[in-house]
Each structure stands twice: as C-alpha cells, then as structure tokens.
Structure 1
C-alpha cells in the first residue's frame, strides 16, 4: 500500500511554514481533492472540477484552554502552500460521507456558523478509505478530548471505524534504560504525536463488544441470517416473560384484595373528612364575618378621630382672635400702636393664605363655613386697607404742611439752607412695614398712596429748590459781560470781557451738588418705601464737584425691613414696576426743573460763555449717574444739558449775526475787527472748557470761522480792485492771532491751514497783477509766442506779424529801458494799498521771486526763437533786484 500523505514530513513542514506566526501547532496534514459535486449552484465547469488542496488540523494553547482549527491550504502559482480557509472545530456540527461516491472516500464537513447555509458545502475526496478514516478519526478524537462533544456522523458506522483504528494503529518500540536493562514498550502513534488523539471506545467497551460478537461467531455467514437468529431469540424471550407473568397470578389476586380493603378504609376516612370540612367552612365564614364587622368598627373609630382633629384645625384656622379683630376694624395708627397693627396684618395675611387652595385641601374650599369665613376675612381686609390708606394720605400731607409752614426750614436772605429730610424719612420709616403689608393685602391701594405721597412731597421739593435758587442768585456777585463780542464797532465793550464770572458757574455747580444727590436719594427712598420691586437706585457725585456730596443720613433707602411677600415671583414684575416707578417719579419731581432752568438763564445773561463751564459740569454729573439711577434725575440732567446747549447756540447765532452785520457801503481796509476779537473769544472759551465740553466748543468754532470766512469773501467780492489785498491781510491777521491756539486745538489748526492756503492764493493773484501791470508789453509778447507754438514751428514764429526781430527789439527797448525804475514802481504799488506794514517784506520777496521766474521763462523762450538776439540775462536781473 502506498504511503499516506499524512506521514509526509515535507508536507507537514510546508504547512507549518504557511501558518508561521499564528502560534498554532500542526497535528495532521493530508492532501485532498476539493469539488462542489453535481448539486452545486454554479453551472460553470471550472467550479465542479476537483482542485488539489491540503487539510491541516492545528491546535493552539490559550492559558488553560486549547483551541482546535481546521485549515484549508491551496497551492499558489509557484507551487507554494498558502492559507485559503480557516474553520474552528468547535463549530463543526456534522460529518457526512457522500453516498453518491461508491468508494466512500468523499465526505462533507458542516459548520453551524457559516453565513450562507444555502450554498452547498465543499466535498473533500481522499485517495482511499484509510486516509478518510485516519482524518475523520483524528477530527473526532480532537472534538472529544479538547471540545468535550462529538459532531453528528452520517454515512459511516462508528463501530466499524473503531475496529479500523484498532487494526491500523502502528506500534513502535522505544528503549528505556532502567536498572534491569532495556525493556521494549509498545507505544501507539497517538501517544507519540499529540496527547489529544485517544481511542474512540474505552477498553471495557471494547471487551464487551468482543464478547458479544464472539457469541455469534458460530454460523454467521451473512447479515440476513444473523438478523433472523436475533428475531427468534427475541420471540423466545418475550414468550418466557409472558409465562412468568401468568405463573404470578395468585400473588396478584392477594395484592388486589388488600387494595380493596384499603380503598374502603379510605372511603370511610373521606366521609369523615367531608363532615369536618363542612363544619370548618361554616366556622371560617363566622370568623370572617366577625373580623369584617370588627375592622369596620375600628376604621370608623380611626376616621372619626381623624375627622375631629381635622375639624379642630379648620376651626382654628377660621377663628378670628378678638384683639386682632378690634385692631383691624377700629384701632389707632399712632406710632405706639404700630407693632400691634403690624402683628394684626401678619395674622390676617396668614389667615387669608391658609384658606387658599394651595394651603387648604381642595375638598374644604367649597364648604359653606370656609366660604363664609373667607368672606368675613375679606371684609376685615377691605376695612383695614381703607382705614390705613386714609390715615397715610392725611399723614403725608400733614408732614409736608408742617415743614412748609416753618420758614426757617428753607433758604432765607443772606442764608443758604441745605434741605434736610432726615426727620421726614425717620417718621416715614415708622409706617414702612405697614405699607409692605398693605401691598400683600391689596396691591391696588398703593397707587393712591403713591400719588398722595408724590403730590405732597413735590410741593416741598419745589419750594426748597425755588428758595435755594433765588437766594443763590441773590448772593452771587458777578458783573455782567456784554453779549456783543464780534461786532464791527470798537468801543468799551472789550473792557467787560476780562471780568471774572466764575462765581456764576460755581453757583450752578453748587445747585447741582446740593439737589442732584438729594433727588437721587429721594427717588431711591421712594422706590423702597412704596414697595417697588426694582433694583436698588443709587447715585454718584462726580469727583471734583464743589460742595461735596449730599449725605444727610446713612443708608437712607434701608428701611430696616425685608420683603414679607417672599412667595411672590420677582421675574416679570421688574419691567412693569419700573415703568410705574418712573411715572410716579415724574409726579414726585415734576416742576423742579424750572428752578434749574432759571439758574441757567441767569448765568447766561451774566456771561454767555459760562454755558461752556456749565455744560461740562452737567456732563460730569450725567456720566456720574449709574445706569440704575433714578430715571427722572437723568432726564433732568439731560434737559439741563440741552438747555445749556440751546443758550450757547443762541449766543453763537447772535455773534455770527454781528459778524454778518459789517458795513458793506464803506470800503474795508486792513484787518476786519472781528478777526482779533475772535482770537480773544476763542482764548476765553478754551479757559472755560471743563470735562467733555470740547465738542460744544468745537462746533462753535466751526460755525464762527465758517461765517467769518464767508463774510470776508463777500466783502472782497464787493470791491474787486482791492479784493486780494483785503483777503491776504485778513487771512494773515487770522493766522497771526490764532497761532498759539492752533498748536493745541485741532479744530482751530484745521482752520489755520485753510486760512494759510487762502492767503497764499490771494498773494499769488495780487503779485501777478502788479507784475503784469508794470511789464505788460513784455509778458504779452511772451504770451503770443507761447500760444503760436502750439500751431506752428519755432522757426516760423519770427516771420509772423508783430513777432519779428524788429518787434522784439522795440518791445525790449520800451519795457526794459529803465527797468530799475519799473521795479521801484512795482514796489511802490505793492506798498501803496497795503495797510499791514509787517506783511510788506514777505510780499516783496514773493514779488521778486515771481518776477524772476517769469523773466527766466521769457529768456529761455527768446533764446529758442531768436537765437541771435541778446537780452539782459537772468543773473543781471537777479542782481538788480537784490540791489533794490
């Protein structure tokens, strides 16, 4: 018999090389043929042809466990084995020998974890039955020892395989050196290879099978004869069993008699048990009835006790203590009685809340007693709210009337009185807690109380502001400055400009220093006292303000109470309360702005420029107020700022009107009067700037200068002959008077550069006019040649009419003979109409330079057109001008 491929060591080494790195050990490797059989799904011939493959069984140790694998290897194009498929033996479910192969060498392996069970598994064909049995036996041994279970085997007899294994297990002899010498030991192939390859049938089972088979060795020729013999023996055994059963009949009868006697005893026992069961059932029903009645009585007792307790609690809620009822309906509101009133309010608030559904069981809410008691409490609440509201309205009015009637409380002649509301607030704090309870009882009543408080306190605040403003103006000594600043007439109006009017702005600052903190504090106290749910109102006095900050009492807005309505949600109320607060503050402080306006108007009449200082002071106070400050105070400061800006704009408009009123019938010479006056005005305006008033002053500068320049241009157009002289002298005067201020004030620097450009343009026009007037023929001749050069060549120009060489000589003789006299005449003409002598040197230098530039252009043109003619050189003319 040919050697099996399972014993091929070269094949085993090739398989181990193919799976190198997997840490798996080859147990067996054998060559097979793979085919799909005639039942495969694919109809292609190539899919049905047998392909050479190698099946290898491998194991891998993983800790205490061992994993077994079936590997399919195929030959590559180079004849090298490479892995093709890998199956885990723990998923092997069936081994089936294909019946279509008569040789029995073809089998299939079924795995339960394949994704597609509809595809026919591959068929493996061995070379012979021995190779098939050897492979299948190795698979079954591994499954039994490693996995502990065997797959289903179809088409092959397991006993037949066991016999084959016993016959075909080779034995080899190994030598062991012991003390007695070498001993021959029979070792099976499985013991030499891998421990997992053991026998399928144990030794005891094998001996039993041999004994059984040995019994039937005699006369067994064919399977049919053996089967007939077994049938006959089975029938003999059954007949013997029937005979044994029939012989035991007396014993059976005796047992049946005993069973009948036991049955009669059981029936008697059943009757007795039935009787006892009926009696027990009746007794159980009686016990249940007694227990039910007992439970009902006990439950009724518990319910009655709980009901009594609940009714006691409800009655306690509905009981009105006599002392509280008397206090709510007819008690006094004197200061000594306020603790009792507050205590009664707290009880009433708690009693009303206790009868509301969230705090009261909804089942009680519809009870008549609860409804009647709630109506009684509502009546008590209405009575108390009406009485308290009426008392507080009268109380606020009486407090203010008492303070107004005392004249020593206000500013008097020769004495400025700082308003002091400490006593007023102290008396109001007595009723702050009462107002909190009134809000929780009936929020609608607060509207009337707020109006009453605002109307009463408004009278006091306006009286204080009016008396303070009147005395402030009367006690401030300041000479009045004229409002005529930029008019054309020159008189004694300038003398008043140097008067010190700082007392005016100081008086305005003092008014703000005293009253703005007072108004902020009053707004803050009012918002807390009248129970507005808004953020705390705070005010700040800007740094540097004269007179200090108003602080008549520490923590004036701290009423020493907490919000008793803790359960009310604050969200969503702030905006509505803030709007209501602003409306109330309008009533509280409305009208007081007129006294501030009076101070502003008074200061404007004394010195309009003090509007700049007042504007800066107002801006500082406005920026010092926080975003949450009293809204009306910010509105008041904004209105004051607008009023000051309006008055200052009025002053600027009047000054601009004075500029525009300059006499146009008389010829203007020299610098106009409003230019130096504007410099004086700008200097003083810069001295008055405080804080953020820069924009106000810059706007005034822009309007002043725009009107000044526009008026200057109009006056120049009225007298064209002397227009450039008027312009250059006035623009020069503007630059000279504002040189120092333009270096520090960006707005004036812009206008300074604008005047400089206009001055240069006027100088250029005036100098050109003087030069052309004195050397008219010379430059006319030059202009004709220059015009012709655009149409004809330079060689043709001497042949034109009036441009011949003879004409050139005549023109030079008339224009340049006695040129020193012409230049002297030019100087005299420049000097004649100039009022500002200090401008003459610079103008004469500009004139000489302009004349030299024009003469240089003329000399170059003559040298190009008339190369043979000679004229005085430019250097000669320069020397002549330098000697003049």
Structure 2
C-alpha cells in the first residue's frame, strides 16, 4: 500500500477541487519534484537548482463526439492548497525522454512542439520511485492513444521493460482502484506500445563486458571448448547446479554448528513472552478502569456544556428582548407631532424629525431589519398596526393641509391685481415668492413619498389645478395688454388686386411691431413655463433623469433672469431623439405637466391670429422666432413646452398657407371673362411680394417661404398659359411680354428657389420670341421660304442636279418666287416692323425683338441663297450683303 501514497484519495480530491471550474475529468494525479538545473556526473542536482514540489495531473474534456486531453501542473500555495500553475495540451506532446545522468531513472523531460522559446531547456521532473515514473508515463501513452490516436517518442526507456512492468502491476492497479475508490491505473499490453527507441538502455559494448565477466568466473580451456559442441551448455549448467547445492549444504552446516546459541535465544524469547502476557493482563485492567473514568468525564462535560449554553441563551434572549422593546417604544413628542401637530413653518423641523423616526420605525419591523422569527409575534404585529395607523393619520393631515396651502397661495396672488399686466403696463410674471413658500414644505413632500406614494396623485393634481389658474390668468392679461399696446397700421391691399378680405392683405406700412410682440410673448413665457415644469418635477419628487444643470436651459436671446437655483432641467421626453425610455414615472410627469399648463396655449394662439390679421406676411417672422425657440429647447425642456412650440409652429404655418392658397385662388380666377392684353397684374405684384417676403425671412429657415414660392409660381405660370391659349393669335406676344416682366433677377441671384423659376421664365420667353418672330417673317415671305423648304425636303431623296427638273421647282418658278417676294423688299421689311410694333403692348421690348427678327430673317435668307447657289448656279438673286445693308438701314 506504500505505492499509493503519491496518488491517494486525498491528493485526487485536492486536484479535483483545483480544476473544478474547467468541467474536465481527472484521470491521474501524482506528486513530482520540478527542477531546472543540469544533472552532474554524480546524479545529483547542483546547489543553484533546488527542486520544487509539484503535482502532475492528466485530465480529459469531452467536446461533442471527440475529447481533448490536458497535462496540468499544480503547485502549492502559501496555505498548502493546490492551485493551477501551467496547462499543456497532450496533442502537442512530441517526446518523453528519461535523463540518463540520473542513475535512479526517475528523472525525465517532456517536449512540446508548440512552445515559443525552444532554446530554453525544458524543466526536469523527478519521481519518488520507478513505479511512480512508470505509472505516469504509461498513463500518458494510454491517454494519447485512446484520445488522440497517436503516441509521442519515448527516449531512454526499454519498451520491453515497460510492458513487463505494466503486466505485473495490472492486477494490483485494479485492486487498488476498487479498494481506494480512486482512479484506476491504466493498463497497457505489449502490442499497444509502439514507440521509437532512440537510444537503448544497455549498449552492445556493455552487454559484451557483462558476459565476459560472467564467463571469467568459469575457466574453459581452448581445447575443451573446441571439443565441446552443443552439449557443453548442459555440462556448464550441471556444474552450476552442483555448486549451488554445495553452497546450500555449507549454509545448513553452519546453522547446525550454532545450535547452542539458538537454544539460548529461544529461552530468552519464552521468558519475554511470559512477561508480555503478564503485561497484557495489567493493561487490560487499566484499560477497563480508564474507560469507565472517560465515560464519567464525558457525562460531567455534557452537563456543564448544557448549563453554559442555557446561561448564554438566557443572556442573549434578554438582550434581544430589550432591543425589541426599544424598537416598539413610540416617543411621546413624535406621537404628538404625527397625530395632531401643527404644520406652521416654525413646527416643520419637529414634523420632519417625526417623519424620519416613523419611516425608520416601520422599516425596523420588517425583514431583514428584524429577524423573521419575530415578525409573527403578537406584540410586533400590534406595534406595526399602530405605526401604520399613525402613518395614515399623518399622511392624510399633511395632504389636506398642502392642498389648502397651494390653493390659498394662488388665491392670494390672483386677488392682488398688481401681480398682473394692467392698462399701459406690461407685467413680467414673478413666481419667486411663490416658490420660496413652496420650498418650505419640499422636505415634507419627500418624507410623504417615502411613507405613502399613493398620496402624491391627489397632491399633484391639487398643485397643478391651483397653479394652472394663475398661469392662465397671467398669460391672458399679458397677451391682452400686449395687443392693446402694440401700434400697427393696416394699409390698403396690394395683393391680390381687388380683394376685400383683410386676412389676405399685407399692408405696405411697417408691421414689425407685430412680430416683435409675438417674440416678446415667447421671451417672457417660454422660460417661465420651462422653469415651472422643472420646479414642479423637482418639488413633487418625480424620479426622472436630468440633462441640464439648474439655470442652463435658457438660450442667449432670452432675456430672463433666473433666480431659482433649485430648478432642474428635465429630460426632453417629446423630442425627436429620445434619450430616455418611457418609464411610468416619466409618463406620470408628462400627464401632470399637461394638467399644469393646459389652456395657456389659447393666449398664444390669440396673439398669432391677431398678428395674422394685421399682416399675413408676418407669419414668416413668427415662424422663424418659433423655430429658434424649438432648437433652443431640444437639450432641456418639459414635454408640454415642446408640444406648445410645435403647435404654434404648425398654427403659424397653417395661417400662412391659407393666405398663400387664397392668393393662388385669386390668381387662378383672374378676370376669366375679359380678353387679357399686355402684362397681367399679378406678375409685377409677385415680384413686390417676394421682395417683402425675403425681408421678413432674414436668414431663418426657408422651408415655409420656398413652399409658398413653389405654389405661387406654379399657379402663375399655369394661369398665364391658360389665358394665352384663349386667344392663339396673340398667345406668343402675351407669353413673351409676361415672362419678360418677371423682374426677379436680383432675388434669383441669392434665392435658389427663385433662381430656378427665373431660368424657367427666361426659357419660356425665348421660345415665345422664336415662335412670334417666325410667324411675322413667314407672313411676309411665305412663298420664298416655302420654296426653300421644298428644295430641302427633296435633297434627302434626289441629287441637287435633278431638283430643277421637278414640278414647281424649275428655274422659271424660282424667278417668279424671287420677283414676287423680293421686289420691294424694303417695303416688306417695313411691314414686318409695323406688324411687330402693332402686336406688342410694351415699347420696351420692341428694339430687342426687332433685332432678333432681323437676325432671324437674315439667317433664313442666307440659307436660301446658299441653296440657290448650289441648285441653280446660273441664276442670280440679291446678295446676302445687300440684304444685310438694307436691314441695317431700317
């Protein structure tokens, strides 16, 4: 059993505990000594390379259909506990080499092919004996073959010796495994070991020396050796047998000669046996007495232990009962404050202390503050019921007081007219005193929430209801006085002509005070509403995330002095980019803010409608102001303020779009039953309107104005085309005159939307000019250019030499056409000029159109002259230069 000391059950349990977290199965664990020095000739390590105790363990981990084997190195910690040191994969084990310098054969090295530093000598592993070495190496070989399917090289070990050792120890290993309930040592047969022996354990030279020494003990003469054949071995064996018998006989003879000494020894043994038997009897007697004495001592110790335990338990129970009684005691001053104390400002400190004590007392009666064994005691249950009753009483009294207190604060402010705007004086709302008085009870509200969260729903509603009346009254009085004190004139309409509705009539006077009044309304009330929302969330103990520090949520253009250092910036819960999840607390805050501020938007809408009636174009300025406030409130605002700003922006856009739609409707029904001559009235008026709109936008968002431009221009151009098609005779003249009147060149250079429509009008103008000039030219020289067109058509099918022989295209026909068209050509050109002058209603366009007409006629005549030269080379017509000179004189 001494062989099992290196891998006993205790070592196995320690190794399994060290690798428990790896889900690996332990195969073998054995103690070794690790050293890193070079073995000297004497077979011992040098002084600089001391051996360190280690444990080598082989483990296997299943991975699906396959398994993976590991060689673990474990070391002892300072507390003597095994812990993993290194881990090797057996699939990388390439060589097992026994160190030949160690005469014991218990030292070997393990070579791995995946080590990064191959130049460093591998560590030396030294076993306690050869059996431990053989067990480890055979286990490694068996595991490699079963799990990996291949074996590493084994150097310095005789495989036959290993196989014989495995066969001899197979039965012993199985028996030890069953007795110790430990790992069964793997067995290996001779056929299972297929290793490459790089160097034999005994060389051939050493074997020859051993044989010579053996035969040297028995002298064989040469002649005898030559005469002896195969039977010489039998004679040699017989001689050895005779020598053995002689030696045994000599041993027996020596024993017989020493018989007297043996007799003396036997007598001494008999005397000793009698003494031993007598001593055994005495020991039995003493053992019985000691056993009885031990039983008595154990009985006494048991009684003493019970008495000591009883004393300790009684003392502990007394201490626990005293602590419990201390918990169950209600101080009289706290009970008086909670049941019928006053809520005046001077008494708030006592009320806060009472609330803190009550909350701690209730928590101290619950697990884990109080052990579970005490919770069902009658006294504890009665005391908990008493505390809960006291809490309910205090919460109800405090809630009723706060509701009345909030209403009284607001009623006092509403009854005093000096808090609101009056005739001739705009009053900025100031809630500093109101918030100061509310903060007196802020800590009380926090304790009420800790005592009973359900009481906060009616409290919040009461606060919102009271403050909503004050905010709406302030906004209404401010908006009324703001409109009354704003001076803005309403001038006659300039767009559309003849419209009687004032809502479609932007005045030509200065109406900037209208948008300034709207901006002042936002400047005063938007920061106020944000502050009220933030203060409400903080005051009413809403657990919501905070984005901005106190007082940092005002933009630069908001001239508001924030004196509330306790306000908090609330997370933007209605923005496009939501940075927080919709928690129940956040939803409750949103609903409460709606109750707090609902109805105040009507006064903002009234200001917007009032400004629209004075000057609809001021919607552009108001839209820009609203956009700036929306962008400023993206980082921090209560949800209702964002909704209010979005609704204002939508209302302003709707008002402006209604103005645009009505104006477009007026353009579409522009004098349908009357023949239109010259430039339509809405063309130049649109230029004036666009100029004013650009003045109002002043670098703000262009979406609203660009949409209006798209509607206006689209309707204008469609209406112009429709009116022009009503009289096809003058359609082109009307189109070119109206497109030429779109005087948006200056604005088109800076406004991309107008630039697109300006280019569209210019292109339509050029097309109308081309059609008009072509019609005038063909009216005077129709025969001449029709003759040229016939020639051009025939040139696609026949050769130029054949054209003079075609019907209607002979030289005689050419002379007739030239004579009828070009005789008195100066008069014909004058007639073209007069006809163009008669059609045009705008004298400003005549010079440019006449220049285009002359150029177009000269180009057509040049083409005609080239055709005549090519088809009729013998015929003569007026030269192009003569025609150019004639046109220059006109």
Q: Same fold (TM over 0.5)?
A: yes
Per the alignment, residue 238 of structure 1 pairs with: 252
Q: Which runs of 5+ in 2 are unaligned?
A: 1-98, 106-152, 162-187, 223-234, 570-578
Q: Is the 8 A contact 2:157 2:197 kept in 1?
A: no
Superposed CA deviations along residues 253-272 of structure 1, whole A, max 9, x for unmatched, are 97588568757xx63x6666
CA distance in 1, matches of 2:272, 2:567: 109
Superposed CA deviations along residues 515-553 of structure 1, whole A, max 9, x for unmatched, are 0000000000000000111123658677563xx432241
C-alpha distance 115-406 of structure 1, shift in aligned 2 (>3 A): farther
Q: Is the 8 A contact 1:488 1:658 kept in 2?
A: no
Q: Is the 8 A contact 1:524 1:536 kept in 2?
A: no
C-alpha distance 456-881 of structure 1, shift in aligned 2 (>3 A): same
Match of 1:661 among 642, 652, 669: 669
Superposed CA deviations along residues 764-820 of structure 1, whole A, max 9, x for unmatched, are 000001001111221222233333344444333333333222222112111110000
C-alpha distance 627-244 of structure 1, shift in aligned 2 (>3 A): closer
**Equivalent position SS for 2:730:** helix
Q: Is the 8 A contact 2:154 2:195 kept in 1?
A: no
Q: Is the 8 A contact 2:494 2:507 kept in 1?
A: no
Correspondence list, 1:74-223, <5 A: 90-91=156-157, 117=193, 136-138=204-206, 156=211, 158-160=213-215
Q: Is the 8 A contact 1:454 1:587 kept in 2?
A: yes
Per the alignment, residue 599 of structure 2 pairs with: 591
Q: Is the 8 A contact 1:385 1:445 kept in 2?
A: yes
Superposed CA deviations along residues 107-154 of structure 1, whole A, max 9, x for unmatched, are xxxxx9999756999999xxxxxxxx9x8444687xxxxxxxxxxx7x
**Equivalent position SS for 1:499:** coil
Q: Is the 8 A contact 1:483 1:608 kept in 2?
A: no
Q: Which moved more, 1:738-747 or 1:779-788?
A: 779-788
**Equivalent position SS for 1:798:** helix
Q: Is the 8 A contact 1:482 1:493 kept in 2?
A: no
Q: Is the 8 A contact 2:493 2:506 kept in 1?
A: no
The answer to whether 1:411 aligns with 2:417 is no
**Equivalent position SS for 2:423:** coil
Matched positions, count: 693
The answer to whether 1:729 aligns with 2:737 is yes
- 1:698 Cα deviation after fit: 1.1
The answer to whether 1:638 aligns with 2:646 is yes
The answer to whether 1:799 aligns with 2:809 is no
Per the alignment, residue 379 of structure 2 pairs with: 369
The answer to whether 1:460 aligns with 2:457 is no
Q: Is the 8 A contact 2:159 2:195 kept in 1?
A: no
The answer to whether 1:746 aligns with 2:743 is no
C-alpha distance 768-158 of structure 1, shift in aligned 2 (>3 A): same
The answer to whether 1:834 aligns with 2:834 is no
Q: Is the 8 A contact 1:541 1:621 kept in 2?
A: no
CA distance in 2, matches of 1:61, 1:162: 30
C-alpha distance 739-497 of structure 1, shift in aligned 2 (>3 A): farther
CA distance in 1, matches of 2:251, 2:750: 141
Correspondence list, 1:521-670, <5 A: 521-536=531-546, 545=557, 548-557=558-567, 575-670=583-678
Match of 1:440 among 417, 426, 450: 450
Q: Is the 8 A contact 2:533 2:638 kept in 1?
A: yes
- 1:288 Cα deviation after fit: 2.4
Superposed CA deviations along residues 366-386 of structure 1, whole A, max 9, x for unmatched, are 222222221221111111111
Per the alignment, residue 495 of structure 2 pairs with: 485
- 1:415 Cα deviation after fit: 0.7
Per the alignment, residue 43 of structure 1 pairs with: none
Match of 1:326 among 336, 346, 362: 336
C-alpha distance 860-349 of structure 1, shift in aligned 2 (>3 A): same
Superposed CA deviations along residues 591-637 of structure 1, whole A, max 9, x for unmatched, are 10000000001011111111111111100010001334111101100
Superposed CA deviations along residues 34-89 of structure 1, whole A, max 9, x for unmatched, are xxxxxxxxxxxxxxxxxxxxxxxxxx9999999xxxxxxxxxxxxxxxxxxxx999
Correspondence list, 1:341-420, <5 A: 341-420=351-430
C-alpha distance 257-723 of structure 1, shift in aligned 2 (>3 A): closer
C-alpha distance 114-866 of structure 1, shift in aligned 2 (>3 A): farther
CA distance in 2, matches of 1:878, 1:353: 112
CA distance in 2, matches of 1:364, 1:332: 35
- 1:728 Cα deviation after fit: 0.5
Q: Which runs of 5+ in 1 are unaligned?
A: 1-59, 67-86, 96-111, 125-132, 142-152, 168-220, 560-570
Match of 2:697 among 677, 689, 700: 689
**Equivalent position SS for 1:413:** coil
C-alpha distance 311-257 of structure 1, shift in aligned 2 (>3 A): closer
Q: Is the 8 A contact 1:616 1:689 kept in 2?
A: yes
The answer to whether 1:311 aligns with 2:325 is no
- 1:862 Cα deviation after fit: 2.0
C-alpha distance 672-283 of structure 1, shift in aligned 2 (>3 A): same
Superposed CA deviations along residues 397-456 of structure 1, whole A, max 9, x for unmatched, are 111111111111100101100000001101110111111111111111111111111111
The answer to whether 1:843 aligns with 2:849 is yes
Per the alignment, residue 82 of structure 1 pairs with: none
C-alpha distance 782-374 of structure 1, shift in aligned 2 (>3 A): same
Q: Is the 8 A contact 2:156 2:198 kept in 1?
A: no
Q: Which moved more, 1:493-502 or 1:427-436?
A: 493-502
C-alpha distance 831-321 of structure 1, shift in aligned 2 (>3 A): same
CA distance in 2, matches of 1:272, 1:291: 29
Q: Is the 8 A contact 1:540 1:625 kept in 2?
A: no
CA distance in 2, matches of 1:303, 1:316: 20
CA distance in 1, matches of 2:837, 2:568: 81
CA distance in 1, matches of 2:700, 2:765: 33
Match of 2:784 among 775, 778, 784: 778
- 1:483 Cα deviation after fit: 5.2
The normalised TM-score by structure 1 is 0.72
- What is the aligned-residue RMSD (CA, Å)? 3.8
CA distance in 2, matches of 1:123, 1:453: 99
- 1:832 Cα deviation after fit: 1.1
Per the alignment, residue 146 of structure 1 pairs with: none
CA distance in 2, matches of 1:519, 1:454: 13
Q: Which moved more, 1:497-506 or 1:769-778?
A: 497-506
Q: Is the 8 A contact 1:537 1:630 kept in 2?
A: no
